[in-house]
Structure 1
Amino acid sequence: MKKNVRVLITDNVISNMGDAAILLAMKSSFEEAFGPGTDVRNCYCGVTREAGPFAKFYPELHFTSTLWNAGRDWTIAKWDIWGRLIRKTATERFPLQARLRRMGFPLFLLTSHERELFREFEEADIISVAGGACLSTSWTVPFMRKSRVAQYQVAHALGKPLFVYAHSLGPFRDGDNFPDLLHDSLDHAAAVLCRDAEAVKAAREQIKLLGDNVHQTIDEALRIIPRPPSKLLAPEKKKPLRVGICVHDYIWPGAADRPAKQADFEARIARVCQSLLERGDTELVFLTSHQKVEGSFQDDEPVGRRIQELLPAPLRPDAHHVTGFVHPREFSYFMGHCDLVLSSRLHGGILSLVGGAPVVVLEYEPKSRGLMRQIGLEDWVLTMADATSDEITAKITELLSDLPKTRERARAGLAEGQKLAKRNIEIVVEAAQAHWAKSERGVLPSRVSQAESKP
């Protein structure tokens, strides 16, 4: 087994808890597989220019720059022709420089700042696309696509094993050319790990990946380890039952009146909350996986506030809100101690399940149902767009009516999910070792040494 492996993870969006949970779990999996000396680095991609606030929130993660910075940020103050030329050509220059580098040429196509980023790719042993759902029509808008694909091209040109780690490929809208842009890079990847059957279908039918490097696994966040919160997040439980609520502000693709669609959703959830509170034995706690913190691009906390305002005034004191940053491990522990969690966020549901709580999942994209189907809990899924308040309330009531049985099903589903999630790193290790063995035999060009990489 190779020692002191360096892993470079691209395309993470650390500003939401789901992606953060995936990165934390990936780091643990790589260290478990290759040893404590494993150096896992994350190419930061977010709305702030640098990873500063997230380096503060996640000191256990090592952040680096990304081609996104080279193409959009680093010369932002230089609005002359030369500055614009540097930005606009970054996604072409990096792959070309990688090909020339393998032929022994120096880094003459890159600026000094860009060379530092290039060495992150050059000195990596494994390059992996972060787990999640960034490779879809919705989450990789046209102006971001070149920088994503260029990173994969650099990996291939340098002879690095490239992985797509437990991903929801797609959905892709009709007429979108993104699958065509991805084809060559993913077709030559060491492994493409799809976290559900829908992603496998997108890989096969839309990206046209026909080789044996496509595998169905499951979301890596199922491997995260919960920990108790460092501070009190909500008042101590006073009622026999506590139900967690993790709901969000959705984009509602195709809706003629998006605000009206969102308002209807919140009204339905408010009626569910009212029904639960009127039982007299239940209290609620609202905690979102997309919190209002510096650098985040989406804040779901106002959704819970608006829902609370729709409740009759006498019921509101039993609906508590958790605000501000909560670490994914602490989210898992806290929500996992609820008797049940209602979540429209996929990772709100995953982290709650890992922490020990049964979950009713409101599906907004195929990935939610796909995960629950794999762990035998698809009957706990309702649709975010169409499920009525009565249907949601009935499902919650059904699961609460026999909590021992419900908890046993949740534990069994979690065990199956964690077993599937372990396959992610097992496949990566096997494919990486095969890649390195071919490289050593000369089937692949040998990797450039760190000494040779210095300018």
Structure 2
Amino acid sequence: MNILITNVHSARNAGDSVLLEATLAELRAVFPGATITIAMNDPKSYRPRHDERVVAAFMDWFKATSAGTGAWRLGRVLLAPWLLGQSLVVALTQRWWGRPAALPRSGARRELLLAYCQADLVVSCPGNFFLSGSGIGIPLLLAILALAYGWLAGKPLYMMQQTIGPLRRRRDQLAVRWVLERVRIVLLRDEVSRATLTEIGLEHPSCHVLPDLAFLYQGGGDVRPFAATLAPRNERPFLGMTVINFGAHNRFFRHQARYEAAVAAAICTFLRRHGGTVFLFPQVHGPTYAEDDRPPARRVAALAGDLAANVVVIEDEWPASPLQAAYGQMDLFLGTRLHSNIFALTAGTPVLPIAYQYKTHGVMQTLGLDHWVLDIDSVDAQQLTERLEQLWQQRAELRAYLATTIPAIQQQARLAAQWIRRDFELVRGP
């Protein structure tokens, strides 16, 4: 049994790393003994934990993700008709004859195409890949290709919990609808995505909404990387935070400075009222500069003025387990990164989320906590300060609510792999 997992970005993003880890664990539970290959945009960032194999995804053919620049490889882009044409021959000969022809003789392209040909099923990793970016849309097309190529090669396709959209362009809507019509089970992580599929004209017979797979993640509770930072900070409360350089992600977002100023003003007011320490964590530290959370964290800390000694920027590149453990040490969490909020919630810490895409609204709606979500486009200092104070006043009730709600959410999330296994048995037959 060979399984190929596609649409995996980078282990330098703790959210992506956890989604992959949870996907591996769930698939191994229902397909014991399976050989698993991961097609990854940033393959150099990942260190296999078991016997899984990593190959460079289609994205890595055309974009220098692993190099840290995120620059497009112009020569490869110009050669795209040849590269993709050869790949099409490989897929169709596998589909028609049961063996591939015209495989590249060696290298990363051969490894990827062979992984598709040898797979018994192709599974798209959870996340938010199917959305319109602020550029011309090549990343979306490559995410679609990652699934579509499996269909061309005659493989059954499955999609773990995704947020779909926003899809601003008609061509994006048509392309996403086309590929999802060929997926046997479409799993979403929010009702907003279901509405998006309805808007683009897709009524899939096996489309289900389940909680984000990251709710299943239980790190080792290793707080040792945080211990040295925490040692001199005995005065509570502890307020944990993540911020994002969204202006570098999205050229349509013009409010980066206002967002950072609002966050800085809110934490300064909180510190003056309650004392304690604010910790700014790097949920994501690459692979590109635009994705790194540390530059905006430094800018926010610089705005703290006379309270700068009470604001700590974590510069080290921590994996998911110590991040989740550290979030569990916080009294409150103010998070812009979606999965930093999920880490904090599963650790029992009350969260005030700032949404930079509607996936945050959808995931918080799953918990019945979407009324706490603020939008990055409109958040201001007064609103953020008031909501943070409300969260502080209600922290005990929210901790109790999370303790009773999270276990049920986790049980629902586990259904994904079970449904995939059941359907694949129908495809394979007795």
Fold equivalence (TM over 0.5): yes
**Structure 1 residue 78, shift from structure 2 partner:** 12
Q: Do 1:70 and 1:90's aligned partners in 2 also have CA atoms closer than 8 Å?
A: no
Q: Give runs of aligned pairs for residues 388-427 of structure 1, distance below 5 A.
A: 388-427=380-419
**Structure 1 residue 85, shift from structure 2 partner:** 7.8
**Structure 1 residue 238, shift from structure 2 partner:** 1.0
Structure 2 match to 1:306: 299
Structure 1 match to 2:244: 248
* Residue of 122, 125, 132 corresponding to 2:120: 125
Whichever residue aligns with residue 436 of structure 1, its letter is R
The separation in 1 between residues aligned to 2:134 and 2:16, in whole angstroms, is 13
Q: Give runs of aligned pairs for residues 110-259 of structure 1, distance below 5 A.
A: 110-113=103-106, 114-138=109-133, 141-173=136-168, 175-206=169-200, 208-227=201-220, 228-232=222-226, 234-236=229-231, 237-251=233-247, 258=254
Unaligned runs of 5+ in 2: 65-71
List per-residue Cα deviations over 1:6-51 (Å, max 9, x = no partner). 321112111422211111111111122222x2333211114xxxx2
**Structure 1 residue 122, shift from structure 2 partner:** 1.9
Q: Do 1:67 and 1:91's aligned partners in 2 also have CA atoms closer than 8 Å?
A: no
The separation in 1 between residues aligned to 2:114 and 2:251, in whole angstroms, is 45
Q: Do 2:7 and 2:146's aligned partners in 1 also have CA atoms closer than 8 Å?
A: no
The separation in 2 between residues aligned to 1:269 and 1:229, in whole angstroms, is 26
Structure 1 match to 2:37: 41
**Structure 1 residue 225, shift from structure 2 partner:** 1.2
The separation in 2 between residues aligned to 1:111 and 1:255, in whole angstroms, is 37
Q: What percent identity do the matched residue pairs reach?
A: 19
Q: Do 1:71 and 1:90's aligned partners in 2 also have CA atoms closer than 8 Å?
A: no
The separation in 2 between residues aligned to 1:179 and 1:45, in whole angstroms, is 23
Distance 1:410 1:110, change over 3 A: same
Structure 1 match to 2:263: 269
Q: Do 1:364 and 1:384's aligned partners in 2 also have CA atoms closer than 8 Å?
A: yes
**Structure 1 residue 403, shift from structure 2 partner:** 3.2
The separation in 1 between residues aligned to 2:252 and 2:287, in whole angstroms, is 32
The separation in 2 between residues aligned to 1:130 and 1:390, in whole angstroms, is 38
Indicate the structure (1 or 2) with the bigger Cα radius of gyration. 1
The DSSP-based 3-state class of the residue aligned with 2:128 is coil
The DSSP-based 3-state class of the residue aligned with 1:134 is strand
The DSSP-based 3-state class of the residue aligned with 1:168 is strand
List per-residue Cα deviations over 1:67-115 (Å, max 9, x = no partner). 3345678xx9996xxx888643232332332222233275432321344
* Residue of 56, 70, 73 corresponding to 1:65: 56
List per-residue Cα deviations over 1:192-251 (Å, max 9, x = no partner). 111111111222221x32231211112111111122145236223411311101111113
Structure 2 match to 1:12: 8
**Structure 1 residue 347, shift from structure 2 partner:** 1.0
Structure 2 match to 1:32: 29
The separation in 2 between residues aligned to 1:301 and 1:85, in whole angstroms, is 34
Distance 1:145 1:270, change over 3 A: closer
Instruction: Answer with 120-129 or 89-98: which moved more.
Output: 89-98
The separation in 2 between residues aligned to 1:243 and 1:179, in whole angstroms, is 40
Q: Do 1:94 and 1:150's aligned partners in 2 also have CA atoms closer than 8 Å?
A: no
The separation in 2 between residues aligned to 1:263 and 1:146, in whole angstroms, is 31
The separation in 1 between residues aligned to 2:184 and 2:135, in whole angstroms, is 22
Whichever residue aligns with residue 205 of structure 1, its letter is E
**Structure 1 residue 435, shift from structure 2 partner:** 1.9
Unaligned runs of 5+ in 1: 441-455
**Structure 1 residue 254, shift from structure 2 partner:** 8.6
The DSSP-based 3-state class of the residue aligned with 1:171 is coil
List per-residue Cα deviations over 1:323-356 (Å, max 9, x = no partner). 1211112211111221110001111101111222
The separation in 1 between residues aligned to 2:89 and 2:142, in whole angstroms, is 14
